[in-house]
Every structure is written in structure tokens, then in C-alpha cells.
Amino acid sequence: MSTDSSLGLNSSEQFWKDSLKDQIPDDWAEGIDNFETEIYLKKQNKIEDKKIGMGKLKPITKNIFEIAGVYIDDSYRYQGYADSIIQHLLKEIKPGQEVYSIVPDKTSPLYKKAGFKQLGSGQYPKIIKDIRDKRETSYPSYGKFLILKWTQED
């Protein structure tokens, strides 16, 4: 069987890829390519399967979301991974949707760097205020929580 030299795909694996390329959305095709590349690199022992960070885009309502839980393992901090996670999550936002982050004051520079702006009292929905108030009560050692909002660039 012949092999595609870029990823080590044999001809039957390349066949399904070629035959489906016009039938699946571009983002799915990109995801499949990324997955195949990751598998290939793992087989070559060029990457290890280690989780170093995480983040989540939480739906609050149909059109209001929160970026939350961004965490990077201590040994990988200050290397741009948190920025990458936030940017990746923001790509999921559609026009008309709002994105907030409710974070301790000391972590707000990370979000401001990504384009989030701090909001003053009354500039955000009540549901967002309620989440902030609950966090301040639940995690008093973190101090004051700020409400930040990201706005899509046109």
C-alpha cells in the first residue's frame, strides 16, 4: 500500500479523506487533520499526552457566556498557554453573543490582555452580578472579583 509522506497515511486512509473533503464543514476537516497529526506525532514519540492546562466556556443563558476555570500547571505558567486557551475559547463565540469573565482582581491582567474590559456597577446583567457575589462569598481568600466583558472586533 502506498503512503502519504506528510502523515504516513496509507492510500485507503487518504481515499476516505479525499472523498469526504467536499461533504464536511471546514472546521471538521481541520479538526480531523489536527487529530491525525497528533496521532502521528504520538506514534513517533514526538509529543507526550500530558494535560498542562484547561479552561471552559460556560453558557449562562442562550447568548451570555462566561470564560471560567482557566488554569495552567505551575511548571508551564508564563509561557502563553493561558492566552492560547482564552483565544481558543473566544473563537466559539458567535455575533450577538456576550462573553464575561468573573475573576479575582489579581488575575484580571490576563483577561485584559485578551481584550476584556472591566465593567462598572450596573453595566452587566443581574445574572452576572449574582455569580460574582456568590464567588466572593464562596472564596473570600481570593478577595474582590471583577466583572470583565469581551467585545468582538468587527
State the pLDDT at residue 14: 60
pTM of the model: 0.68
Q: DSSP secondary-structure letter at 94?
A: P
Strands (E), 33-129: 53-59, 64-72, 98-104, 116-118
Site of grid cell 485578551: 114
CATH 3.40.630.30 fits 53-150, yes or no: yes
- Rounded average pLDDT over 30-44: 82
pLDDT of residue 35: 82
Let me know: does 73 contact 53? Beta carbons within 8 Å.
yes
Residue closest to 33 by CA, chosen among 11, 10, 54, 14: 14
How high is the mean pLDDT of the chain?
86
Q: Residues of CATH 3.40.630.30 domain(s) within the chain?
A: 53-150
C-alpha cell recorded at residue 4: 502519504
pLDDT of residue 152: 79
Residue 16 — pLDDT band, cuts 50, 70, 90? low
Signed CA dihedral, 73, 51, 78, 119: sign only: negative
Question: What is the tens place of the pLDDT at every residue in 66-109?
Answer: 999 999 999 999 999 999 999 999 999 999 999 999 999 999 99
What is the rounded CA–CA span in Å between residue 73 and residue 17? Answer: 36
Which pLDDT band holds residue 154 (cuts at 50, 70, 90)?
A: low
**Distance between CA atoms of residues 17 and 140, nearest Å:** 53
- Cell 462598572 identifies what position? 120
Backbone angles phi, psi at 25, to 5 degrees: -60, 150
pLDDT surpassing 60 at residue 3: no
